[in-house]
Structure 1
Amino acid sequence: MEDNSHFEVIIIGGSYAGLSAAMALGRSLRNVLIIDSGLPCNRQTPHSHNFLTQDGATPAEISAKAKAQVLKYSTVKFYNDLAVTGKKIDNGFQIATASGKEFTAKKLIFATGIKDTIPEIKGFAESWGISMVHCPYCHGYELRNQKTGIIANADRAFHLASLVRNLTDDLTILTSEKASFDSEQREKFKQHNIKIIEAEISEIEHDNGYVKNVIFTNGDKAPFTGIYAAIPFTQHSDIPASLGCELNENGYIEVNFLQKTTIEGVFACGDNSAMMRSVATAVYGGNLAGAMVNKELVDEQF
């Protein structure tokens, strides 16, 4: 890239949301830098779904095509590095990277995603994103009419069960601890023949990420083809919080309907600020963030 350290906008995160924001800004002739470390959270997922024109493509294929299109706009630059710190300066912000580079910009867009907290269950990490998934809208059709499990408890399990029940008649909730359901929830499970197993899980038996069996600490084994899991997450980057951006009660960056964070001049989009974790949502949020940042720059300059 050119020896240039100052930009109108720095976008941290160069996957779907970040690239979408960059396209909106590039088409408005804004001087933009995308900083990306090249480790998207869905890199293990074999196919992406529920996104018009790209249904069934691999995440890498979609990202590569998007990046090629975005970088046709000459005012947009892409830098492979990890943003590690950020601070407020006069008339903008400064971002430092792991390699020691420093860049400044008037506005920031965080498209940094979230980091799943993988439980210490043998085989879980290897299957995550392949046949152990998070979202019925992204993966449910491919798991339709199959023997399916849900690793979750309480209201989260109930919510997932209500969605997945529409896709399969063979559904089991795996709480891995004492189940926490009220009488109404248990009655719903009974009506829909949804089973509950409370035994602690010790291993996910799989073949190259495709689940075969769940093994429990008591020695029992249960066969499954696919499993949904509601697992906790953390923000992939701590820079927004270090700048003062507030997180909501669910751990997402707090943004308004224009993707603005609680810090002036800082925007966020994609999985770091949206509960609906999908490619389509990320692209929408990024496009809106890019447009709104451009509008702020216009208002300041016109």
Structure 2
Amino acid sequence: MSYDAIIIGGSYAGLSAGLQLARARRRVLVVDAGARRNRFASHSHGFLGQDGRPPEEIAADGRAELMDYPNVTWTVGEATAADAEGDGFRVTLGSGEVEQGRRLILAGGVRDVLPPVDGLAERWGRSVFHCPYCHGYELDLGRIGVLAVSPMSMHHAMMLPDWGSTTLFTNGAFVPDAEQLEQLARRGVVVEPDAVKSIGGERADINLADGRCVALDGLFVLPRTHINSPLAEQLGCALNDGPMGRYLQVTETQETSVPGVFACGDAALVAGSVALAVGTGARAGAGAHQSLIFR
């Protein structure tokens, strides 16, 4: 069967893109591997109308809404290859099946690569976070740490005092200069230069190399991000270099540098959230639909 659009990724961005196309009565295939980026978090925040809900419930409700449209097909699995064919694209699934679509929407998201500190990965999404807007308020003006990974951690440390008393653990990854130290002092940020040995405790206590332990209510870190799907590289889509990793270059309608291929969600953002993913998905779905009409 040939589809008007094949969407790779059935999380928030892919669901949002699919909804626009479904309501335009287009034939849509969603290919989903089932690995949402925020699956480690118990609650999602900052998304209007859904604030504080478990992320799996938001995704499940979105899928149920999309699948109410009879012109949408959902398949569980990975898309392993894609290439242009005629006026559309051919997508090969992990099962070996080959699907054809006139437009392709890449919504497979990114994966986070954390610095190699003992105890960090086990607390990811529970007491170790990357987004202050998503998780800062729930720390209730408590004790917050920033684990430095690059000069971008300065930005993190300058923001977080609005959510609690903040300590920047430079950990050999970043050394603030005199001007930056003055800026941090004005924001009330404590700078801890000793190396971080491990993360422990019920929340995210920092065990330092000199034997001290700094108790925290939450810890923020900027992971490196890697685009999940190999399709963008196979198709030759242009990428931008961001402070946390590469992301797909898109136009205002979310179209990539390859005509007919659109991208949305975290793979097409410098930094993402559920709310931003849904917004870019809506743009990608509408953009893909209009391209079917006006080209």
Change (3 A) 1:142 1:71: same
Q: Once the two structures are superposed, what CA deviation does each residue of 1:16-68 show, in whole Å capped at 9, x if it has no partner? A: 00000000000000100000011111111010011111111011000000000
C-alpha distance in structure 1 between counterparts of 2:239 and 2:208, whole Å: 36
- 2:259 is the alignment partner of 1:267: no
* Residue identity in the other structure for 1:291: A
Secondary structure class of the residue paired with 1:19: helix
* Aligned counterparts, 1:93-242, within 5 A: 93-153=89-149, 155-168=151-164, 170-177=165-172, 179-207=174-202, 210-211=203-204, 213-242=205-234
* Residue identity in the other structure for 2:235: L
* Residue identity in the other structure for 2:42: P
- 2:79 is the alignment partner of 1:83: yes
Alpha-carbon deviation of 1:154? 5.2
TM-score (norm 2): 0.95
Q: Which range is displaced more, 147-156 or 124-133?
A: 147-156
Aligned residue among 12, 19, 38 for 1:16: 12
Runs of 4+ in 1 over 6 A off after TM superposition: none
Q: Once the two structures are superposed, what CA deviation does each residue of 1:79-117 show, in whole Å capped at 9, x if it has no partner? A: 000111111112211111112111111110001111111
Aligned residue among 247, 251, 255 for 1:252: 247
Q: Partner of 2:26 in structure 1?
A: 30
Aligned residue among 70, 95, 104 for 1:74: 70
Q: Partner of 2:280 in structure 1?
A: 285
C-alpha distance in structure 1 between counterparts of 2:174 and 2:267, whole Å: 30
Are the counterparts in 2 of residues 95 and 102 from structure 1 also a CA contact under 8 Å?
A: yes
Aligned residue among 77, 87, 92 for 2:88: 92
C-alpha distance in structure 1 between counterparts of 2:214 and 2:250, whole Å: 42
* Residue identity in the other structure for 1:240: A
Secondary structure class of the residue paired with 2:51: coil
C-alpha distance in structure 2 between counterparts of 1:88 and 1:44, whole Å: 35
The root-mean-square deviation of aligned C-alpha atoms, in Å, is: 1.4
Q: Partner of 1:295 in structure 2?
A: 290
Are the counterparts in 1 of residues 146 and 156 from structure 2 also a CA contact under 8 Å?
A: yes
Change (3 A) 1:177 1:35: same
Aligned residue among 39, 44, 51 for 2:40: 44
Secondary structure class of the residue paired with 1:51: coil
TM-score (norm 1): 0.93
